[in-house]
Structure 1
Amino acid sequence: MEFDVPVIDISSYVDLASDAERAAVARQVDAAAGTVGFMQIRGHGIARSVLDDFAATLDDFFALDPAIKQRYRTAVEFNRGYTPPKSENLSSSLGVASATRMNDYFEAFNVGTTTADYPDLDLPAAAGYADNVWPAELSTFRQRVQAYFAEAARVVRTLTTIFADALDLPAGYFDHFTDHSLDVLRMNNYALPPGTVDLDGELKGMGEHTDYGIVTVLWADQVPGLQVLGADRRWHDVQPADDALLVNLGDLMTRWTNERWLSTLHRVMPPIVDGTIERRRSAAFFHDGNFDAMIETLPSCIGAGSKYAPITVSEHVQAKLAGSRALQPNTNAQREAARVLSAMDR
């Protein structure tokens, strides 16, 4: 079967539309989630001005002097602030060693939901609701990032509304699993100064991994680099279509659906032009669910029996982060590890 990441217009869920129009979209999402685990969405409703301002402020931050960016590095367990190049290894989140001889070369800046976002709840900062850090050198950074964060949060909640329809669940089914969701926006920069790395063919911008939570919305340049593992066990290049956002499912949705839907392995390879790495930017909005939500097989997906034991969002996400950020191999990801090992030689 030919590899394809379908483009789906979700505007019927953003605007007023008929039940029939929405049902058609839900069927398309179900098909993409069950065959590729990736899709591209149009009609998401994010204004071009918000996207342009966000891209510009991302450029402003990553253009800062490395010593300044280092000021915004935080402890790995908080998943906030700056991540310098070659300090993480995403493959470790799967419990396998990376195929590279060094850690991933991307740099990143993370912001997310905090305890202050839910003042009526007693949420532990250490469980994923840590405070954000904001670069004082950039006067518009916080405003522009928060504007995009709010829009991405709206989009993921539109998607979970579609998911409930696609999975034959009651309207609003996911709301009580996500009403104080661990949401993280990771802004990535794939570029290094000349001479900092040996381009020996094994370098990876981001190692093979699956995303951790419910669903990820990705804004990205139309620059090569992202690769998705297809059903043929081969890596396929994926670039966003004009005006589209990339969407992929995370491990928690795979557990919820009993593998009816896929959390597909993906990676970022360096786009090398004339011996140098071409710059690539992306921003992934991770919608992980409430830290205390219990994830167990959905009633519409049990079939012959559940493949996964129940687990809380926090238990799952913290084990994954200990792998990627603290470089402690995840010993609870056997099914994902088997998939990445099968693709190592492809």
Structure 2
Amino acid sequence: MEVPVVDCDQVIRSDLEVARDIDSALRNVGFMAARNLGVSPERIMDVFSTAQSFFHLPVQAKQHCAYEAAMENFGYQGLGQESLDPSRPGDLKETFTMRNLLADRVTAERWPNVEFRQSVSAFYQDALSAAQRLQRLLALALDVPGDYFVKQHSGENITLRLLHYPTVTADTVNPEQMGAGAHTDYGMLTLLFQDAVGGLQVQSEDGAWHDVPPRPDAIVINSGDLLERWSNGRYRSTCHRVLPREQPAERYSIALFVDPDSDTVVEALPSCIEVGAGALYPPITAGEHVQAKIEATHRA
């Protein structure tokens, strides 16, 4: 199973062409690699440098910014503190999570430093613009007003996450541990920026796992649980995982989770319900779904 590459270049392709390609990719795979979404290579390089500098700090310095509660969804978590697959031991990754990044929700001392905050904030703004373009293209594909999805994503639950997968050796970890356990994403869309080190895998419908090789010119996009509900199963919320780093190179990635505002009621769109058929899922509020998922993954 290959992840389709979708060129989103506004100069050479119409929105309708791009929307059709996105529709096909999310129907068939639930993942795509999107090119020309408008996030500059310089901005991406800067935020990866920021992530590397932070994760190389002493543990005590990182713990100064420790994650405190799933409801807040902000701060640093070390190795093993999250299990994206709750049936397995803690994931072999460390993270820095920032929900509703621009809303000034946490005090200044919770941040590593001013430069860190400036770097991630600038990147967040560019990545959010790319996400909003994708939302408008999906609105076109699903026959709803162009701002339908954008209006329901004010930023309340949109979350930026820096991830680091340090190298490990097979004799020091539980064989059941993963870099990131098998899971589906919770919200509408995820934008994933990868370094050159691989490890991401997606699961096909037959249960097999397939590598997603890093592409320096593309952002990996996948549909989440709530987009599957909105589209009445038309778009797949595909299970994926990250292998542990048992090779010499550590891995970094950066994810923007585009999740709706908490009071958004997610139910099947009329364009996605066939005549004579019904909705596959009952209505649910976005906050109810996302919060339950987050809380299930965090370990004491």
Q: Is the 8 A contact 2:65 2:111 kept in 1?
A: no
Q: Is the 8 A contact 1:40 1:240 kept in 2?
A: no
The answer as to 2:290 corresponding to 1:317 is yes
Corresponding residue of 1:216: 190
Corresponding residue of 1:29: 22
Q: Is the 8 A contact 1:216 1:248 kept in 2?
A: yes
Q: For 1:219, what is the secondary structure of its paired residue?
A: strand
Corresponding letter in the other structure for 2:278: G
Structure 1 stretch 43-52 or stretch 315-324: which is displaced more? 43-52
Q: For 2:146, what is the secondary structure of its paired residue?
A: coil
> Matches of 2:169 and 2:138 in 1, distance apart?
46
| % same residue | 37
Per-residue deviation, 1:232: 2.7
Per-residue deviation, 1:143: 0.8
Per-residue deviation, 1:243: 1.4
> Matches of 2:254 and 2:21 in 1, distance apart?
25
TM-score normalised by structure 1 residue count: 0.80
> Matches of 1:267 and 1:137 in 2, distance apart?
28
> Matches of 2:53 and 2:171 in 1, distance apart?
23
Distance 1:155 1:163, change over 3 A: same
> Matches of 1:27 and 1:223 in 2, distance apart?
30
Deviations 1:181-212 (A, max 9, x none): 411001000005x6796256433101000000
> Matches of 1:272 and 1:252 in 2, distance apart?
33
Q: For 1:49, what is the secondary structure of its paired residue?
A: helix
Corresponding residue of 2:74: 80
Corresponding residue of 1:296: 267
Q: Is the 8 A contact 1:225 1:237 kept in 2?
A: yes
Distance 1:114 1:285, change over 3 A: closer
> Matches of 2:133 and 2:109 in 1, distance apart?
28
> Matches of 1:199 and 1:185 in 2, distance apart?
28
> Matches of 2:203 and 2:40 in 1, distance apart?
31
> Matches of 2:74 and 2:150 in 1, distance apart?
25
Corresponding residue of 1:330: none
Per-residue deviation, 1:257: 0.7
Corresponding residue of 2:229: 255
Q: For 2:172, what is the secondary structure of its paired residue?
A: coil
> Matches of 2:107 and 2:95 in 1, distance apart?
14
Structure 1 stretch 282-291 or stretch 163-172: which is displaced more? 163-172
Corresponding letter in the other structure for 1:235: W
The answer as to 2:42 corresponding to 1:71 is no
Corresponding residue of 1:307: 280
Q: For 1:189, what is the secondary structure of its paired residue?
A: strand
Corresponding letter in the other structure for 2:133: T
Candidates 9, 15, 18, aligned match of 2:7: 9
Distance 1:64 1:84, change over 3 A: same
Distance 1:160 1:181, change over 3 A: farther
Candidates 229, 232, 240, aligned match of 1:266: 240
Query: Number of matched residues?
Result: 297
Structure 1 stretch 177-186 or stretch 305-314: which is displaced more? 177-186
Q: Is the 8 A contact 2:68 2:75 kept in 1?
A: no
Corresponding residue of 2:153: 178
> Matches of 2:157 and 2:263 in 1, distance apart?
10
> Matches of 1:24 and 1:137 in 2, distance apart?
43
Corresponding residue of 1:341: none
After the TM superposition, which residues 1-346 of structure 1 pair with which residues of structure 2 at under 5 Å, given as runs? 3-12=1-10, 21-77=14-70, 78-92=72-86, 97-98=87-88, 102-113=89-100, 116=103, 130-131=105-106, 138-192=113-167, 198-199=172-173, 201-273=175-247, 278-303=249-274, 304-326=277-299
Per-residue deviation, 1:325: 1.7
Per-residue deviation, 1:111: 1.1
Per-residue deviation, 1:132: 6.8
Per-residue deviation, 1:239: 1.9
> Matches of 1:137 and 1:26 in 2, distance apart?
39
Per-residue deviation, 1:145: 0.6
Distance 1:175 1:139, change over 3 A: closer
Q: For 2:181, what is the secondary structure of its paired residue?
A: strand
Distance 1:261 1:132, change over 3 A: farther
Per-residue deviation, 1:166: 1.2
TM-score normalised by structure 2 residue count: 0.92
Deviations 1:243-293 (A, max 9, x none): 1110001100001111110010000012423xxx53000011001011111
Per-residue deviation, 1:164: 0.7
Per-residue deviation, 1:135: 6.2
Q: Which runs of 5+ in 2 are unaligned?
A: none
> Matches of 2:215 and 2:169 in 1, distance apart?
33
